[in-house]
Chain A
């Protein structure tokens, strides 16, 4: 089944807050071999950890109608207001910014605003999810 056309424009509730720890940033940097100095900026793609939570919430929402095993990550872009640092308490709020439906495929454009404990924008994570609706 294709997802509901009304999905476009919908904003989902903010994710529960995520505390950025030294351990989490160091593990992320180590897994990708990225230079990281303790207390310094986290790798530029680290906010995916928070954005992924928001994408999961979209994908498991029964009202949306996404079949999880038919989703491919098509595109990703980060726009940083500032780098993430250890001690940040981050929340992601996902909006479906576009929906195109072509021959049984849903192309779902999302934008997750990642904010810190003061509500200031840290990063915008834009993901395009390609959903092959099952027969």
Chain B
């Protein structure tokens, strides 16, 4: 099966603030370290939907075209912790069949999404 090109995306707190505004999800655990720690997280975490949006971005970039994704889903299994200095999320995909891309999404040595899969229009 054909491998797609792995891509690493930087993720900063400013990105999360922009995403909170653009998506309408103001939950402070994605912006305020004090609130994140108060609920037992090590630091601010990315919205699960932010990480899934990066997967959609990856598929669009790999296909060189927007609007071909017909199905996209994943489990949010581990948080993407975003310290003040930022972090990186790595996405790699493999064609499972002619329409289905199985993905692997990691932050550091940890897999953060469970069974991320995209199905695209031919």
Using a CB–CB cutoff of 8 Å, the interface residues on chain A facing chain B are 24, 27-28, 30-37, 40-41, 43-45, 48-49, 52-53, 69, 72-80, 83, 126, 128
Query: Which chain A positions have C-beta within 8 A of B23?
Result: 28, 31, 48-49, 52
Q: Which of A30, A43, A52, A75 contacts B18 (CB 8 A)?
A: A30
Closest to B48 in A: A73
Using a CB–CB cutoff of 8 Å, the interface residues on chain B facing chain A are 9, 15, 18-19, 21-25, 39, 48-50, 52-54, 56-57, 59-61, 66-67, 69-76, 114
Whether A28 lies near B22 (C-beta < 8 A) is yes
- How many Å lie between the Cα of A43 and that of B59 in the bound state? 10
Closest to B54 in A: A32
Query: Which chain B positions have C-beta within 8 A of A75?
Result: 73-76, 114
Given known pairs A27-B22, A76-B48, A83-B66, the reply for A43 and B56 (CB within 8 Å) is yes
Given known pairs A43-B56, A43-B60, A83-B67, the reply for A76 and B50 (CB within 8 Å) is no
Given contacts A30-B22, A44-B69, A77-B74, 15 further A-B contacts (CB under 8 A): A28-B53, A31-B15, A31-B18, A31-B21, A32-B53, A32-B54, A34-B60, A34-B66, A45-B49, A48-B23, A73-B76, A76-B74, A77-B73, A78-B72, A128-B75
By Cβ-Cβ distance, the 6 closest A-B pairs, closest first, are A77-B73, A41-B67, A31-B18, A44-B69, A32-B53, A44-B56
Given known pairs A28-B23, A30-B22, A45-B49, the reply for A35 and B60 (CB within 8 Å) is yes
